[in-house]
Chain A
Amino acid sequence: MIHNFRKRIDFTALKLAFKTTIPVLFGYLAIGLAFGLLLQNAGYSWTVALLMSAFIYAGAGQYLAVNLFANNAGLLEVATIIFLVNFRHMIYGLSLFDKFNLTKRLKPYMIFSLTDETYALLTSLTEPAQINKPQYYFFIAFLNHCYWIIGSVLGAVAGSFITMDTKGLDFALTALFVVLLLEQYQTCTTKLPFLIGGFCALVPLIVLGKENMLLYAVILAIIALLMLRKRITENECN
């Protein structure tokens, strides 16, 4: 049985997925470690970190959860806050119908593991022609999930013993988004989506502050895209 399973793994796809996700490895280790340490300081064991990172798998939401635990928040409040902070995920799937259909029985896992970083990678990359696409997509999602679990559990178990200064390592994720942005910038004939993104992120940030910024940004982005539909479809991306 093990032999059979190993034969079905496409190691070329796995290797390429690992290469693609190395920036996420460093970024997730850094913010995962910080999350685990935060949870440990709040008085929870590493099993809570493991459960959260394995089954919730949402960075911003998990950080907020530590505060909710500490403040003894009601379950309705927990539900509302996690919905608001993850609202943006509702539109991520819209860009991935075709890619996820290729993954067949792995599709439920692909949907479960759709974080910001996995979304940004899956919508930006151009995969080599010969690659086993479904496995490549799956391993990107799966490896990212592993990095996040490892980082957060490590932080909860050993966070206080790690003497290496990881401050600033999370910039790897910012840099990854910037690189993906530059790549998309080159393939788009219209630069309008980038202007919309900048506008929709800065307005709520300046007017309303950091809290719920992503929520308002995504709603504004949908409105802006609908209003500028004619101009955008005249100058297609890709």
Chain B
Amino acid sequence: MNATNVLLSIIIMALITLLTRAFPFIFFHTNKPPATILYIGKHIPPVVITILVIYCLKDVNLTAAPYGANELIALLTVVLLHRWRRNPFISIFGATILYMFLIQTSPLSYL
């Protein structure tokens, strides 16, 4: 793509991304949102966060060694650390450091 088209694409992408984010605020700007909309807004965060967790793991290959074992161990580490100390730093960085070690040195590749 030439420079002009890249620039045009960036402007288009910026505008469309902004519009998707602004949609509810533009649409319900003048009147109070209906009860159904407020119900969805109130209850969708845990649904979305569950979807995002699975989205983050979409590239894990379960059909070849180590069959997602690295991710499974790291996920269990997050859960266990968080149940133990309930400190987000310990849970997130403990698991991330372990995960980096696992995929950079592949001790589980013999699986």
Contacts and interface: CB of A to CB of B under 8 A. Distances in A.
B49 A97 contact: no
A179 interface: yes
A78 B17 contact: no
A229 B39 contact: yes
A73 B96 contact: no
Contacts of B23: 89-90, 93
Interface in B61-109: 74-75, 78-79, 82-83, 88-89, 91-93, 95-96, 99-100, 102-104
A97 B41 contact: yes
A231 B35 CA distance: 16
A134 interface: no
Contact of B91 (A56, A57, A72, A175): A175
Contacts of A198: 50, 54
A174 B53 contact: yes
26 contacts: A23-B93, A55-B10, A57-B17, A58-B17, A69-B1, A73-B1, A78-B9, A78-B12, A78-B13, A79-B16, A86-B16, A86-B20, A90-B20, A97-B41, A112-B22, A124-B49, A167-B104, A168-B102, A175-B95, A179-B92, A182-B78, A201-B54, A202-B54, A213-B58, A217-B55, A224-B47
Interface of A: 22-23, 26, 44, 48, 51-52, 55-58, 61-62, 65, 68-70, 72-73, 75, 78-79, 82-83, 86-97, 100, 107, 111-112, 114, 116, 119-120, 123-124, 165, 167-169, 171-182, 184-185, 188, 193-194, 196-198, 200-202, 205, 210, 213-214, 217-218, 221-222, 224-226, 229, 232-233, 237
Given A168-B102, A217-B55, A225-B40, 17 more contacts: A65-B9, A70-B1, A73-B1, A75-B12, A94-B33, A94-B38, A95-B41, A111-B25, A168-B103, A179-B92, A180-B49, A181-B53, A184-B49, A185-B46, A197-B48, A210-B58, A237-B42
